A and B are shown apart, each in its own frame.
Chain A
Amino acid sequence: MAHFEKANSIGEWLDQRLAVETLKRVLQTEYWIPKNINFLWAMGMVLAATFGILLISGIFLLMYYQPNVNLAFDSVNYTIMSQVGYGWLWRHVHGVGASVVFLIIYIHMFTGIYYGSYKKGRELIWLSGMLLFVLFSAEAFSGYMLPWGQMSYWAGMVITNLFSGGSLHANGLVEWIRGDYVPGQAFLNRFFMLHVLLVPLAIIGVIVLHFGTLRIPHVNNQDGEEFDFAEAAELYKAGNVKESKVIPFSPVFLSKDVLVMGVYFLFFFYLVFYHFEFAMDPVNFDPANGLKTPTHIYPEWYFLWSYEVLRPFSTNIGLIAFATAQVIFFMLPFLDRSPNVAPASRRGAFQIWFWLMLLDILVLTFMGKLPPQGIWSTVGLVAALTFFALWIALPIITKFEKKL
């Protein structure tokens, strides 16, 4: 056995057995963050905190929620909302959290795109981040099924029907996913399992991976500048804090993160207490009815852009367009052919590409909410075609980009 000395404090006792000092050094005091970054770099920790809040509120909802087609609706809308002490709080926190987490995810993604933080050694950060986006989408969709209202049922119907592959007519696959001919008890139970166990477990795993991928390349900075972290760290440790280009993650950088989080949570709890209704679709306050479709079916706001890519086309083309839109962002590090790691503002044509892409996603989002009629159909179609045109243009314009 290893030799142990008598410890003089709890900290020392733990350090002998768990090497907590080494852990603290590696993960906090000597994990280096560039100085030249702004509040947008706090979005990652804001996301982590929001996930924590979803987890805690979800655990309390879980105490009264009933995954049964006859009971689910009332267990949420009656028991949790009006019987359970502060049940409404968990529900509103959970609903607002699920919606706002996507707003922050989109900001986080577009920050990465703007500063070129997916290139040259940072590809895995981008890929694991996209994996998190897909997992959060699955988490939000499966959670949306649980209150078993009209929107739950019909969103479940429409989204699982996507898997019939249009003309492939793969009804067997759709029924396999549902465990029934239509969404029913088997369907609710398996999406409940996914929502409260399998997907959150996968999310936690991929968050760890995402952090791991950051370690070696380090986070990017506002100028895309490449510098020697070891050298900068030595400078900092030697006391030349001003001259060094880096600061330690904890406690120095974390205190800045906490400031941004503070502002964010003011906004968050303002929504929870005064504007939770934006996260609660009124149609979902009618219990699920398999014999009546709501007049308009639309997803939550964060899925609208990809829904609008599906809508203007015929079944098969629509499906291909939708499937492509779901995965195309994974390809970004490989479709951007320019070696420049720099903010979009210094990258010529790419700057135009960036703002057009952002604008196009916004237009698609607004069109997705409007009924598919008249001029809105046309605007939606043009925006959907622009989306694909931009992705086709990306390798070409970045190929010709001037090397900085």
Chain B
Amino acid sequence: MAYDLIGKNFTPPDVRAKVTGKAKYAEDFRVDGMVFCRLLLSTIPHAKIKRIDVSKALAMEGVLGVLLPEDLVPLEDPLMPPVLTDEPKYIGEPIAAIAAVNETVAEDALEKIEIEYEPLPFVIDPLESLYPGGPAARTEGNVGNRANIELQTLHWTEEDFASVERGSMPKGKPAVEWSAGDLDAGFANAAYVVEETFVTGSNPHHSMEPRTAMAYWQNGKCHVYGSTQSQSMIVLGLAQYLGIEPADVVYVAEYCGGGFGSKATPYPIMAVPGLMSKKIGRPVMMRISRSEEYFLGSARHCLQGSVKLGFNADGRIAAADIYCLQANGPYFGFPDFLNSAQTLGACYSPLATRFRGVPVLTNTPPAGAQRGPGQNQFACILEPIMDRAAEELGLDRLAIRMINAPSDSTLLDARQSPMTSAYLADALQMAAAEFDWDNRKLRSRQRRGSKVTGIGIGSAMHTGGFYGFDGLVRILPDGKLYIHTGVGNLGTYSYAATSRIAAEILKYDWDDCVIVRGDSRKHLPWNSIQAGSNTSYTQSRTNYVAAMDAVAKLKEIAALDLGGAPDDYEIDGRRVFRRSNAAVGLSYGEAAQRAIDLAGKFSGQEGPEDVNALTKLALGGIAGTGLVGVAKDSADVGGMVATFTTGFIEIELDIETGRHEIKDYFAVCDAGTVIHPEVLAAQINSGAVMGFGMACTERAIYDPQNGLPGNTRLIQTRPPSGLDVPPSMTAFGVDKPDPSNPVGVKGMGEPPMGAGASALLSAISDALGGHVFNRTPVTPDMIVNAANGRLQSNGPLSVFTA
């Protein structure tokens, strides 16, 4: 279908402020009388606080107040992370906050707090907790997760652990189990069976902007300036942490300096300035330092597990058996471990699958969703194993991926959901053509001195959209279209590209459109979190339904004023006019004025019953100002929206130093219709860059003896710099529409990272003659060890290692 705006490049409205320095992030706001607060963080991985005495701190000149756990609204869910705690469960957990005229005074006052801990058992390694009598990260249990897995106690038997001596994953009683298809038959008839024990490292999110927040109270409302990917969705959780009604929260998040999953939902610490401000009656700024980000800034879950695959002679995966533990951190975490099977299912559609897993609580800083949570870790493990299987079966490495690529009949997860579309096979073919696979693969393993060429392929997936949120647009008497979006601004510009769907439907000139966002006072509708690769899909749906509602109202108003039926009218982006006689009509501005006169549903005084309370609130704020288009996107999409990316890479690996250089990277994504080509390519490339770090340099380490973190600086778990990426990168989209979306688009943000990471690991394994590490990251010393046939310093099951 031919569109005027969709599929065309444009400059998103917020870019200019980013290059001039005018874009305001949380730490850039100043308010009269603003003071600062600093946090007291636990020095112990698990303890009860027996005594805390803040009197000396409070007596200091310049100290304005203290916030303690007792000041907080109690949380009902024990797995929900609290704002402050009197039972710290990891080193770096906030216990108290002190406000002072400046940070130096606050910091000195923290030193004056007297605190006595009663240390409790703690655990870093998930397996250790599952041993009979093993330590529990929580006094109430050792297993739990937000995926409806209640806080509970689980221990395996001595016999379950027998395999540990052989370095292979023990598999005791799982907390979650599902299966589909005939697993036994699949393995029994397989031509090749492989079983590997694996560990994937945790790595910090490293958002460049630390999670600073500033807050004050005015007229009974708490105004919070925060750093979050999302907008509307933040208000509810933040209100809960503040102990007030959502209507009493003013939330401003116009820009967010990176989140990657760690700022998608409200995080507890962002409530501290609001709570403190209420106590001391002053605006409070809480700056979070880079070091503190390693405790408060989230990280990817570390996975520990095994994967067994049975292949038919043609390379088709007949059976897959996954066991996956996850180091959950002490709170609800994210269900990364479950997503391992989702990746395998979506990218390789095994004929039979069994998944078993346990989210084990650990006394490590709370981990959470990071770009492709679970999917990307598992892709890193899977791709080198697929390469080995191809080699064992005498198949081409592209061919084994093609034969297993998903089809219309592929079903995912415990629920065995179909996908709304899955064009991974097209992506593989397009990327292979661009990469010149047939010729380039001949370079694989060629050696010049210490340098060996490695060729790799990696694919990854993620869910790519939600439904059920609300859309809100307004045409004002000035004739312009105001698109209200509550999704947030995480930096991918999808808020802008999806706003253009409303403009497209109303046939607007883009210059006559204004995106309204970034501040809850601007009457923003109930929109999704901006995460989970969902914005493009979800927001295009909400903007579509709101625009369709506006079109219907334009035609209704024209029919009311000028006679005939609404269907007799047509729009052209400026006017609504009679089909049979274009001279009879109203300009959009006139129609907006008529909507105000007519009131009721036309101007937002009345709205649909099924929209969210937050949307109703927004509607109340704009009622009577123009023609309002508002609707809930309620249609069921009939399956899981899935988005894919595949990457092809050529590297040169120096087997003497263990360092690699990326020569070329090509990637193609299946994200449905491409709505903003420039951003699509940027996301594919930059996601791969993040993946290169995950594959080779980034990891969180903890000392198992004391629970101490081994990295609290960027350099200790280094994200890629501009010199770690190929000199240029190529990326594009399959551009086949998804049938369940009104314009055919799907989300796309997360798989590019998994594709980049797993393609790089596939290439490193290739350069080493097919060596499979079964671990991320793959560091230079591991490469040198492998190249020299030496044992690795890490055991197959060790976690959080350097």
- A, B: real partners: no
Q: Enumerate chain B interface residues (CB-CB to A < 8 A).
A: none
